[in-house]
Amino acid sequence: MTTREQIIEGARKVFERYGFSKTSMEDIAKAAGRGRRTIYTHFNNKREVFKAVIDMEVERLAGLLAGIVEQPVPPREKLRRYMHARMNAIRELTLYYEAIREDLAHDIGLLEELRRDYDEQEAGMIRSILDEGNAAGVFGIKDTSLVAKAIVMATKGFELPIYMGQQDYDHSSLIDPLMNILYSGIRNRRRGSR
């Protein structure tokens, strides 16, 4: 494990325990078994360290979702599985980082800053599902890039109650109706549904 990876892993543990706002660079240095000077040779500030921790978690999520994109199932089912896996992973990650959830609830700007790069990656994965559906004649989408971005934006609305800590929120009950409405709008009417 590289020094940078040790710092990120140490930071992950203290952010999980104390949250973003209550964690100091000294806490990160101690958790990583390094001096503060070493931390500053790799990161300019706590926000950069936090972004690196979130990027690591996002890579794991992206790997999970990429596996779904590669599954040999019909595009409609693939999109449904993708959405369920995505929301379950976000809920799990948010519960895991309970202390961070509170920080994110008070600083949505920080959340959006952290999400910016991932949104593009996610739109690309969704677009590949939509392109596959177009190629199979299941979907009839003129601009899959635009529709993929719209899906990413729509699903952010599902995330907000999770970040806000709404205990009784059941995102899974909302995904299938959304997918049905979406599918009704994007299916290829000349070929029917699959």
Domain of 31, CATH number, reads 1.10.10.60
- pLDDT tens for 90-106 read 777 765 566 566 666 56
The residue segments making up the domain with residue 30 are: 1-44
pLDDT value of residue 90: 77
For residues 77 and 95, membership in a common domain is answered with yes
Please say if the pLDDT value at position 38 is more than 70: yes
Q: Give the Cα separation of 61 and 89 in Å (integer).
A: 7
Helix axes 46-69, 3-18, angle to 10 degrees: 100
- By mean pLDDT, which of 50-54, 169-173, 189-193 is the weakest? 189-193
Could you give the number of structural domains in the chain?
2
Q: State the average pLDDT for the chain.
A: 83
pLDDT value of residue 133: 94
Band (189; pLDDT cuts 50, 70, 90): low
For residues 124 and 29, membership in a common domain is answered with no
Supply the CATH number for residue 140's domain.
1.10.357.10
- Helical segments of the chain, H only: 3-18, 25-32, 36-42, 46-69, 75-96, 98-106, 108-135, 144-163, 172-186
Asked if residue 193 belongs to a domain, the reply is: no
pTM, two decimals, is 0.74
For residues 94 and 111, membership in a common domain is answered with yes
Asked if residue 192 belongs to a domain, the reply is: no
Dihedral of the alpha carbons of 38, 41, 43, 49, in degrees to the nearest 10: -20
For residues 144 and 162, membership in a common domain is answered with yes
Band (55; pLDDT cuts 50, 70, 90): confident
Please say if the pLDDT value at position 193 is more than 50: no
Band (63; pLDDT cuts 50, 70, 90): very high
- pLDDT tens for 102-120 read 666 566 666 667 667 788 8
- By mean pLDDT, which of 8-12, 60-64, 178-182 is the weakest? 178-182
Give the amino acid at 143: D
